[in-house]
Chains A and B, each alone.
Chain A
Amino acid sequence: MADLQDIQIIDPGVDESIAKLTPERIEQTINRVLTEESAARLKVYLQTCVHCGLCAEACQSYVSRNGDPDYAPVAKVKDTLWEMVKRKGRVDGDFLHNAARIAFIDCGACRRCSMYCPFGIDISYLIMTVRRILNLLGVVPQYLQDTTNSHAVTMNQMWVQQDDWIDTLMWQEEDAQEELAGTRIPLDKEGADIMYSVIGPEPKILAQLIANMAIIMKVAGADWTMPSADGWDNSNMAMYSGDFETMGRVERLHWERAMKLKVKRVVMGECGHAYRGAVYDGPRWLGWTKPPIPMVHAVEFYYELLKSGRLKIVRKIEEPVTVQDPCNIVRGRGLHDKLRYVVNAICDDFRDMDPRYEHNYCCQAGGGLINCGPPWKVSRMKSNKVKAEQIVGTGAHTVITPCHNCHSGIEDIIGYYKIDAHVSFISELLVKTIELPEV
C-alpha cells in the first residue's frame, strides 16, 4: 500500500490541471501516445514482462520503504501504463493523480531496475512514456513545470536574464582573480578548444563553481570560452517533465551555440542529467545519431588533466570521503573508474559505498524529482533511507557528488537523517588541493 501521506499530497500542477480535463481528452491523449508516439519497444516490453517481480530490490524506494510492494518498479508500471492500456485510455482523475505521483515522484528514471530485469526491459522508458502522457494532459507537478516554463521562455532553467548571466560571469572572474591572478573567463572566443557549459542553477545559486572552473582552466593552461548569449545552459528539465518539444529546442540551441563558437569540444560542469540530455535524449529527439561536437563531462575532464599532469595535487584531503555514482554518468557513461581515479588523486582516505559503480543506488533527486519541489520532499526522503544507510556505512564525512541533483539530494538526506557529513563537488576540492602557479 503506497504511503498514505504521499497519496494525500495536493500539488496544484497536478490536481488543478486534472480538474480541467474531460474524459475524451484523457482518452485521446493516452491513445495517441500509445499508438503514434511509441512503437516496437513499448509493445515488446509490455508483451515480454512475465510479472516475476525480480526488479523489486533494484529500486531504492522499494528497499527504503521496507519492501512495500507498491514501490517495486513493476508495480509502478502496473499502476500506470498497464491500466492505461487495459482500459484503452478511459481512466479518471483519481487514477491520473496517482499516476503523476508514481511517475514524477517515485521514479527517478535512474535505470537501475533495467539492470535487474532478466529480460532487460527498460522500465524507466515505460515510466517516461507515462510522464509524456501526463505532460500532454498538462498534469505536471507545479515546481517542475515552472522550470520547464523557464526553459521555454529564457532557454535556461532558472529564469536567468542575459545581463544577469554576463554580470555573474564577470563577478566570478573577479573572484577567481583574487585566488589566482590573471584568471579569465573568456566570452565568445571563436575557435577555442573548449566551450564550457553549465546548468542554470550555477549562476543563480552556486556561482562559486564557475570561479572554481576558471581557476582549474587557468592552471591547466586550457584554451576555453563561455558563451555570452542563450545556449549556455545545458540542463534540461523539459526532458523530465515530458515536454520533449521544449527539450529539443533547448538542446538544439546549446549545440548551435557551440557550433557558432567553432569549438573543438564542449566540457560541461558536474551535472548528470545535463549530460544525458545533451548527449542522448536531445540528439535522439532531434533525429541526430550523436552530438555534432564531442561532449566531455567534468569528471572525464579532471581525469584527463590529472593523468596528464596538467593539474598537480600538492595537499590531499585527509578526512574520510565517499563518492556518489551519479546514474547519468556511471550507468549512463561508465565514468566510475575515472571518478575513482580523480577522487583517489585528491583524497587520502577514500571509502566506497556498498553497492557501488553501476549498482550504486540513485540519489532519489535526479530525473526531475527534486525539481518537483517542497510538497514532495518528505516523500523523497522516505524513499531513500537506504542511501542514508550507505553513507553512514562508509564512515565518511564528505560525500563527493559530481552531479547537481545528487549534490542537492544527498544534502537533503544528510539533513533529514541527521548524518554527520557534508556534500562537496569535485571542483571545490580541486581548488583546495592543486598546485597554483606563483604569480
Chain B
Amino acid sequence: MTLYDVVRGPLVWIAFIGFFAGMIYRIVAMARLATKDKVVYATYDAKYGARSLLHWVIPFAGRNTRMHPIYTIISYVFHICVLVTPLFVMGHAVMWQESWGIRWWSLPEATADLMSLVVIFACLFFMLRRVVLPQVRNVTDASDYLLAVLVLAPFLTGFVAHQQWLPYRPILIAHIVTGAAALLLIPWTRLIHMIWFPFTRAYMGSEFGSVRHSRDW
C-alpha cells in the first residue's frame, strides 16, 4: 500500500467521519449547555431570527456591510467559493463516481480554477488586513494566521495539482492531507463559526426583533 493509497482511502474516511462526528458532538453538547442558559430557548423566534439572517446574508442589506464595501464583496465571494468549490469541482465528482457510482453535477474547469484563485487571494487579503489595519492587528494572534493557512492550503495545493505545475502525485497527497486536516479541525477551531453563525445571528435577531422590537442590521 503506497502513501497515496493511504491518504486516498483511510484518511478520507477518517476526515469525513471525524468532521461529521465532531460537528454532531459540538451541536449536541451546545444544545444541552443552552438549556442551562435560561434565556436562550425562550428567546429564539423563527420570524425574527430569519429576518436577521436574511439581512446579513444579502450583501449591503446591513449598514456595516455598506460601510465596508470592499471587505463585503471579498468576504461574500470567498464564502461562496469556499463552500461550493470542493463540493462541485470536477476532480471530486470523478472520485464520487469512481468510488460509489454517484453521479454528481460538476463545475466547468475554468470556473473551478477561478473559484480556487478567489479563495487563495481572499485568504491572502484577510492575512494582509491583519497586518495593515491597527484595529485588526491589535486582536490578531498566531492562531488567526494558522486558520487562514488551514483554509488556504487545500485550495492552493488543489489548484497547483490541477495545473500540474509541480510533480503531480506529491502535490495531490499534500492536497488530500491538508483538506483532511481542515475538515477534521473545523469543529475544534474558530472555523466552527460555520455552524454557529446561523445560531448566533438568529439569536441576536430574535432578541432585537421579538423582545426589543428593533432591528439589528
Chain A interfacial positions (CB closer than 8 Å to B): 38-41, 43-45, 47-54, 56-58, 62, 67, 69-70, 72, 74-75, 78, 114-116, 118-122, 280, 284, 287, 289, 330-334, 336, 355, 358-359
Contacts and interface: CB of A to CB of B under 8 A. Distances in A.
B64 A54 contact: yes
Contacts of A50: 144, 147, 190, 193
Interface stretch (B15-23, B95-103, B163-171, B199-207): B199-207
B216 interface: yes
B157 interface: no
B24 interface: no
Contacts of A78: 138-139
Interface stretch (B35-43, B81-89, B116-124): B35-43
B135 interface: yes
A43 B30 contact: yes
Nearest to A122: B204
A287 B147 CA distance: 40
B64 A333 contact: no
Contact of B139 (A45, A48, A51, A358): A51
Interface string B187-217: 0001011001101111111011001111111
Contact of B52 (A44, A120, A121): A120
B214 to A, nearest CB: 4
A40 B28 CA distance: 12
Interface residues of B, number: 50
Nearest to B217: A115
A44 B30 contact: yes
A40 B33 contact: yes
A69 B211 CA distance: 32
B137 interface: yes
B71 A54 contact: yes
8 contacts: A38-B37, A39-B36, A70-B138, A74-B139, A119-B193, A120-B56, A334-B213, A355-B63
- 3 tightest CB-CB pairs across the interface, nearest first? A120-B204, A334-B213, A69-B138
A115 B40 CA distance: 18
A47 B190 contact: yes
B58 interface: no
Contacts of B71: 54
Contacts of B200: 44-45, 48, 119-121
B136 interface: yes
Contacts of A119: 193, 196-197, 200-201
Contacts of A44: 30, 196, 199-200
Contacts of B214: 330-334, 336, 358
Contacts of A333: 212-214
B64 A120 contact: no
B34 A120 contact: no
Contact of B38 (A56, A75, A120, A284): A284
A332 B212 contact: yes
Given A69-B135, A115-B63, 13 more contacts: A39-B36, A40-B33, A40-B40, A47-B193, A48-B200, A50-B144, A54-B68, A57-B67, A69-B139, A114-B216, A120-B203, A280-B211, A287-B38
B33 A51 contact: no
Contacts of B56: 118, 120
A39 B37 contact: yes
A72 B135 contact: yes
Most buried by B among A40, A54, A331: A40
Contacts of B34: 39-40
A51 B140 contact: yes
B204 A40 contact: no
Contacts of B10: none
A36 B130 CA distance: 34
Given A41-B37, A43-B33, A47-B190, A52 B212 contact: no
Contacts of A358: 214-216
Contact of B136 (A49, A51, A120, A336): A51
Contacts of A48: 190, 192-193, 196-197, 200
A333 B209 CA distance: 9
A59 to B, nearest CB: 10
Nearest to B191: A50
A56 B139 CA distance: 11
A62 B136 CA distance: 13
B110 interface: no
